[in-house]
Structure 1
């Protein structure tokens, strides 16, 4: 985010924060406490617990991500109950619009401190107001469930499904995964105003499921580890920032690929083999690619196609086929008496493919041969010229929100002439294990760190819609760790 955007966010947030603190200050005074106690984080929550009659040890739960949000909301709601705010609409008001209702109630002469809302005496005295109708009980249960589920999905773990074959045969279409948010640290919402459980589009209506009038700065909680080469990662599809969607980062489509390069690595692809810093990378053992298969004219049975997981079968003439399969399937197929020859369909080096990043004829790259290319690292300074601009201009202009202009007088960034740029974020190179049937970094380049969603950890269900048998569940895949 640009510095100006941060300043703008602070300009908006500062008056709202002042209003909230003012409300707490005056309410503290109404309860016989000193107003300045509202200024001290955590201590002010302790005072609210004391005024509400709740145990102080609830503060210990502040250290648990996700739980701390629920506890904080509960403390505030119990606090305003002590001032006679019993209605559910009032509780919603203090949660959603505290900068309006806290000052309003604090200056309201009819609003006064009634005593600790959690005490037996308070509940007895105001039992008529505290009594909940069945409708309210159900509503509060649903609201709590939605909040709890949203926090779990945002901060801890979320379920995903594999809709496309880009990761086969490592991950199969119909695999249902759990993706950990804590491994790399949970990314807090950037577009916080959104319909629960809808990612970017509302079901049935097809309209936006979020409001992008409020966008928060990117922030990630501490995680257990950094992204490592070989990790299977869920991230937001970077090209959704463009037309026709113009989606915010956290509302872009979810993609799943394997991390092949991390910040600062020099990556090359030579004859379909990935090299990192000059050394060959580990090839996913269950990955797939295209093979040219020459036969004696007999085709392949449906059972053979299913058992060997052959896909995208194209026939040329009466004897030649192009088939997508794993190396294991290729080795098995070689032993078939029907097969006369079989080889990987690898594109020749030096043949330009305009669909391959950076989509520039000066880089004679294709899906099997590209690089070397340096993956940007936070703090790395690159010299900008005709060779580096095609590689890094999108990261500079789109992902790091700079105004990049290239003219006769040279290069300007945010109005300042320069010939270098220092990156503000880390970037990654993601590729599908199904090398000839995957849209990945080879087509659109780097994945910025703010697009990272989480790490795929295990398969909890696998459904084979194409199975010829009545049993569609792939039992052997259930609860398998993703490697």
Structure 2
């Protein structure tokens, strides 16, 4: 045993205190056995972790000093990203204007309690795939059971939440958007499985290695949700819309075309400035809808964009604008749950009950259509199926009821007509919840150059209001 200074014992005492507080938070005292390793690192020194410091080779000392620093940094990042928080980028417009494409967020994992990793052996700086190498950044084994540590609160309605994409459990490597289940609806499951040259290898991803999504929680466990003309009803009562909620609209100027300056003033991003093609067969229908048709039969340009209520009012108040009309939803979308939602649209959806932990559901063929994926895939009953006799079987035995093991949430984007959310792929299980975005770290506008407004300075370190 080596000689140790008082300061080393003090450092060891502080580290030990932090370690045991962390073990108590984990609630798994077997982990406390790792304290023996800490004791050796700080006090006894039997394991020669710092052998390289005594090397006579200067190159070895130089290289190993960098390796030592990098390893310590990665271990620190691993623990911070797992138990405290992590940065995430907003890649899509599903939450505009609340969050913008190009926002980099700090996500607080302690808000709802951090999860003990399902996949403990993973590289902390990437989600599931090493860039360039294009290989998995984690090991499939071991896999730990779901356990969430005590957090500061629970998911509340209106919270913006980061979560692992539930339908990302199975992935066609070459075509990951749309998701595997949508691909199967579009092309047929057998076709997807038998054409690896088109769709790539079909792989399974553990819960915590699935892609991260960010949406707003609109439906909570045990509630009944329905959408009527874009308005969300919970247990039969309408809920308040987020201030920056958007819906798709058609709009038309009386003459000419919309300038970039006008688009910018309205806050319509470049990607959302859609010019609607109009053919001769469309003219009469547009006239009946109130759009301007010139005496010669030509039609001034019609546009389509997602707009907030404030943007709609600005357009309607503009004397140069001839018409503003909300875009109707169609029945030509794949909505959840399949087999039940054929008459629903994204704007008129449901009613559907959101499963809650401890709630018991009476099983029937219709109940299986609505909740079969939840029972089989999310609740860990891979043998669950609907028999030809109309009964549900779990582990080969017929069951009349099922009691849910987890809470579930219904998530939607604020850009309502341009958000792939729970209306399309279903509920978010509690074990998929990652955390709550707290601040915008930095924000980049991809429509502008870096030195011409490319950095949104007014958003840096902004608090995110839920």
Q: Which bracket does the TM-score occupy, shorter chain normalised?
A: 0.7 to 0.9
SS of 2:261's equivalent in the other structure is: helix
Distance 1:295 1:168 in 2: 25
Q: Offset of 1:279 from its aligned partner?
A: 1.5
For each residue in 1:204-230, what CA deviation from the matched residue of structure 2 results, as whole angstroms up to 9, or x when unmatched?
Answer: 011111111221101111000000000
Superposed, 1:65-80 pairs within 5 Å as 65=22, 75-79=36-40
Distance 1:56 1:177 in 2: 35
Distance 2:332 2:361 in 1: 26
**Aligned residue in 2 for 1:368:** 347
**Aligned residue in 2 for 1:440:** 421
SS of 2:94's equivalent in the other structure is: helix
**Aligned residue in 2 for 1:314:** 275
- Is this contact kept in 2: 1:161–1:177, CA < 8 A? yes
The answer to whether 1:175 aligns with 2:156 is no
- Is this contact kept in 1: 2:106–2:439, CA < 8 A? yes
**Aligned residue in 1 for 2:186:** none
**Aligned residue in 1 for 2:19:** 62
Distance 2:321 2:357 in 1: 51
- Is this contact kept in 2: 1:241–1:252, CA < 8 A? yes
- Is this contact kept in 1: 2:92–2:101, CA < 8 A? yes
**Aligned residue in 2 for 1:7:** none
**Aligned residue in 1 for 2:256:** 298
**Aligned residue in 2 for 1:419:** 400
Superposed, 1:319-358 pairs within 5 Å as 319=300, 320-347=302-329, 352-358=331-337
Q: Offset of 1:306 from its aligned partner?
A: 2.1
Q: Offset of 1:359 from its aligned partner?
A: 2.2
Distance 2:42 2:98 in 1: 54
Check 1:80–1:285 CA distance in 2 against 1; reply closer, same or farther (3 A cut): closer
Please identify the structure whose Cα radius of gyration is greater. 1
Check 1:148–1:81 CA distance in 2 against 1; reply closer, same or farther (3 A cut): closer
Distance 1:463 1:57 in 2: 41
Q: Offset of 1:474 from its aligned partner?
A: 1.5
1:406 to 379, 382, 386: 386
**Aligned residue in 1 for 2:462:** 480
Q: Offset of 1:330 from its aligned partner?
A: 1.3
SS of 1:321's equivalent in the other structure is: strand
CA RMSD of aligned residues (A): 3.1
**Aligned residue in 2 for 1:35:** none
Q: Offset of 1:67 from its aligned partner?
A: 11
1:236 to 147, 156, 164: 164
The answer to whether 1:137 aligns with 2:94 is no
Q: Which structure has more RCO (C-alpha within 8 Å, separation ≥ 6)?
A: 2
**Aligned residue in 2 for 1:102:** none
SS of 1:470's equivalent in the other structure is: helix
The answer to whether 1:279 aligns with 2:237 is yes
The answer to whether 1:224 aligns with 2:152 is yes
Q: Offset of 1:415 from its aligned partner?
A: 1.4
Check 1:300–1:292 CA distance in 2 against 1; reply closer, same or farther (3 A cut): same
SS of 1:481's equivalent in the other structure is: coil
Structure 1: where are the runs of 5+ without partners? 1-30, 32-49, 92-125
Q: Offset of 1:56 from its aligned partner?
A: 4.8
Superposed, 1:142-153 pairs within 5 Å as 142-153=70-81
Check 1:281–1:65 CA distance in 2 against 1; reply closer, same or farther (3 A cut): farther
**Aligned residue in 2 for 1:466:** 447
- Is this contact kept in 2: 1:191–1:215, CA < 8 A? yes
Q: Offset of 1:354 from its aligned partner?
A: 4.7
Q: Which segment drifts farther, 375-384 or 68-77?
A: 68-77
For each residue in 1:215-272, what CA deviation from the matched residue of structure 2 results, as whole angstroms up to 9, or x when unmatched?
Answer: 1101111000000000000001111112424211000000000000111111111101
- Is this contact kept in 1: 2:340–2:370, CA < 8 A? no
Distance 2:308 2:333 in 1: 27
Distance 1:358 1:207 in 2: 33
SS of 2:452's equivalent in the other structure is: coil
Q: Which segment drifts farther, 385-394 or 216-225?
A: 385-394
**Aligned residue in 2 for 1:87:** 48
Check 1:280–1:361 CA distance in 2 against 1; reply closer, same or farther (3 A cut): closer
Distance 1:87 1:289 in 2: 63
TM-score of the superposed pair, with normalisation by structure 2: 0.78
- Is this contact kept in 2: 1:182–1:224, CA < 8 A? yes
Check 1:79–1:275 CA distance in 2 against 1; reply closer, same or farther (3 A cut): same
Distance 1:396 1:414 in 2: 12
Distance 2:44 2:456 in 1: 57
1:430 to 392, 399, 411: 411
For each residue in 1:405-434, what CA deviation from the matched residue of structure 2 results, as whole angstroms up to 9, or x when unmatched?
Answer: 212232101212012111101000000000
2:370 to 391, 394, 405: 391
Distance 1:420 1:333 in 2: 53
1:382 to 352, 356, 361: 361
